[in-house]
């Protein structure tokens, strides 16, 4: 379904641009043609209300294809690129959750919250390469840290980075398989599409008094206990929810 929606943006944009090129010579210029098609694809993405991270994908897709073909690379290079991107952005293809990297400011804020909570168990849902989970494990050796990441390549990086940490586990499984009741604090940097299901399970499964921290995306129909605003490049907002 996700890829079909992406094609529903790209193909009509390509056909429309070809039609314009038939009537208007200016569209024969490669730059005009490529970025006209990309702009129309972005417009289609907005009409279909795709998540915002699809905008740069649509914008750069056809120009990137054009550049790769002009480079005349060996055929195996294209297979390598496709496989590598699939391993990195596995969640975007399968679950509408892209790879987001948290800043060091976010990691430090989470560490401070864990110290305040006296947390002994911590989970990072959709941990990526461990940009939050690894600093937590290094700074809080008494806290058991579990990093859940389904995309193969980010999980591999996360597992490698945490290989010497006795309190760190990198799990390459769907985080819905986790036992939410075992954690004192859960952190997630997911997507607006994932938040309804995630927050609903957290409300039902986490123990009373524990803490859920959502980076950037608030949980629907749930009043946060506190909101922390970071001074990082993304101006990240952390929404902190206390489980009743």
* Residue 233, domain CATH: 3.40.50.150
Task: Read off the pLDDT of each residue in 199-219 and give the average, rounded to a whole number.
Answer: 96
How many structural domains does the chain have? 2
Question: What pLDDT does 188 receive?
Answer: 95
Question: What pLDDT does 3 receive?
Answer: 57
Please check whether residues 16 and 110 belong to one and the same domain: no
The confidence band for 144, taking pLDDT boundaries of 50, 70 and 90, is very high
Q: Which of 191, 155, 152 is nearest to 170 (CA)?
A: 155
Q: Which residue has the tokens 């506190």?
A: 226
Please check whether residues 130 and 233 belong to one and the same domain: yes
pLDDT at 33 over 70: yes
- φ, ψ dihedrals at 117, nearest 5°: -85, -10
The confidence band for 95, taking pLDDT boundaries of 50, 70 and 90, is very low
pLDDT at 57 over 80: no
| Strands annotated E in 83-153 | 121-125, 144-148
| Domain boundary residue, one of 49, 72, 95 | 72
Please check whether residues 137 and 219 belong to one and the same domain: yes
Judged by average pLDDT, the poorest of 69-73, 127-131, 187-191 is: 69-73
Assigned domain for 137 exists: yes
Question: What pLDDT does 87 receive?
Answer: 47
- Structure-token pair, residue 173: 């499984």
Please check whether residues 27 and 113 belong to one and the same domain: no
Of the chain, the end-to-end C-alpha distance in Å amounts to 36
Please check whether residues 68 and 118 belong to one and the same domain: no
Task: Read off the pLDDT of each residue in 218-238 and give the average, rounded to a whole number.
Answer: 94
- The three-class DSSP label of residue 55 is helix
Q: Supply the range of the domain harboring residue 49.
A: 2-72
Other C-beta atoms closer than 10 Å to the C-beta of 123 total 26
DSSP state of 202: H
Assigned domain for 202 exists: yes
Judged by average pLDDT, the poorest of 6-15, 17-26, 63-72, 188-197 is: 63-72
Question: What pLDDT does 243 receive?
Answer: 96
Contact 119, 137 (CB under 8 A): no
């Amino acid at each position: 379904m996700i890829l079909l929606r992406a094609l529903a943006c790209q193909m009509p944009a390509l056909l429309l641009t070809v039609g314009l090129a038939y009537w208007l010579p200016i569209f024969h210029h490669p730059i005009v043609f490529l970025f006209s098609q990309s702009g129309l694809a972005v417009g289609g993405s907005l009409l279909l209300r795709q998540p915002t991270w699809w905008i740069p994908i649509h914008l750069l897709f056809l120009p990137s294809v054009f550049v790769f073909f002009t480079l005349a690379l060996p055929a195996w290079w294209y297979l390598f690129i496709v496989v590598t991107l699939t391993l990195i952005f596995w969640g975007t293809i399968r679950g509408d959750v892209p790879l987001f990297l948290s800043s060091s400011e976010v990691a430090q804020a989470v560490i401070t919250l864990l110290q305040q909570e006296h947390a002994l168990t911590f989970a990072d849902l959709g941990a990526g390469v461990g940009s939050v989970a690894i600093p937590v494990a290094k700074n809080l050796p008494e806290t058991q840290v579990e990093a859940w990441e389904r995309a193969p390549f980010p999980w591999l990086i996360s597992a490698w980075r945490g290989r010497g940490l006795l309190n760190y586990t990198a799990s390459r499984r769907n985080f819905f398989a986790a036992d939410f009741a075992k954690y004192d604090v859960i952190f997630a940097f997911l997507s607006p599409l994932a938040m309804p299901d995630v927050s609903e399970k957290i409300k039902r499964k986490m123990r009373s008094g524990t803490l859920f921290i959502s980076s950037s995306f608030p949980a629907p129909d749930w009043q946060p206990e506190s909101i922390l605003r970071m001074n990082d490049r993304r101006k990240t907002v952390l929404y902190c929810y206390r489980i009743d």
